[in-house]
Amino acid sequence: MIKAHEIQGVIALENSFNRVGLDHVMLVRIASAAVTAKMLGCPRDKILNAVSHAWLDGCSLRTYRQAPNTGSRKSRAAGDATSRGLFLAMTAQRGEMGYPTAITAKGWGFQDVLFGGKELKFSQPFGTCVMENVLFTISFPAEFHAQTAVEAALALHTDGSDFSAEISGRTPSGLSHSTGRPRIVAAPGLAQTRTGSH
């Protein structure tokens, strides 16, 4: 699991798949192919073959993660990617050839076809950095990148400020009809713990 997290995390650090409309779940498939090939006892060349296939499979669009199309596929995307990674590892174990330039082939590789012609960047080697710095406990039921924003909103909300005058009676979907304040849904006790620790 540490190896899989490290592969996903290091690739994601400098490469914004979201920016080009691609879903980051492809990193799950790539990491799963690499790690399960190793677990199956594949030598390095067969692991590389499995990983090349994981890159060749391309990427899902982020459509199912963005409004107005957000849907239940989000719940199974990682499981699907993991099973595909295992399948590719087993295929490589049986002797399926690999594609050494799956990422870099001019005009046909991942970078040119799906990544807008940009070269993938790697700012650090694959080691243990991702697992050593992972946020193990997500504080609020929001995507990872929204954690700080939710924490800030909750801190502002709990400082006793009255925001109703600023909102002027407007009640968009994210505001409470009764108070005009942002609705923050968090597990019991987290608000006090998070705001009290800063």
Residue 190: per-residue pLDDT:
36
CA distance 37 to 50: 7
pLDDT tens-digit map of 67-119: 899 888 888 899 999 999 999 999 999 999 999 999 999 999 999 999 999 99
Contacts of residue 166, defined as CB under 8 A and 6 or more positions apart, other chains included, come to none
- The yes/no answer on whether domain 2-132 falls in CATH 1.10.4100.10 is yes
Residue 56, exposed/middle/buried by CB under 10 A (0-12, 13-18, 19+)?
A: middle
Q: Which of 44, 49, 131 has its CA nearest to residue 85?
A: 49
User: What's the whole-model pTM score?
Assistant: 0.69
- How high is the mean pLDDT in each 10-residue block of the chain (198 residues)? 88 89 93 97 98 93 89 88 96 97 96 94 87 67 68 70 51 46 40 35
Predicted confidence at residue 154, as pLDDT, reads 74
SS3 letters across 112-173: HHHCCCCCCCCCCCCCCHHHHCCCCCCCCCCCHHHHHHHHHHHHHHCCCCCCHHHHCCCCCC
Task: Determine the pLDDT at residue 143.
Answer: 62
What is the rounded distance in angstroms from the CA atom of residue 142 to the CA atom of residue 180? 21
d(CA 50, CA 32): 10
| Domain boundaries of the chain, sorted by first residue | 2-132, 144-196
pLDDT, position 188: 39
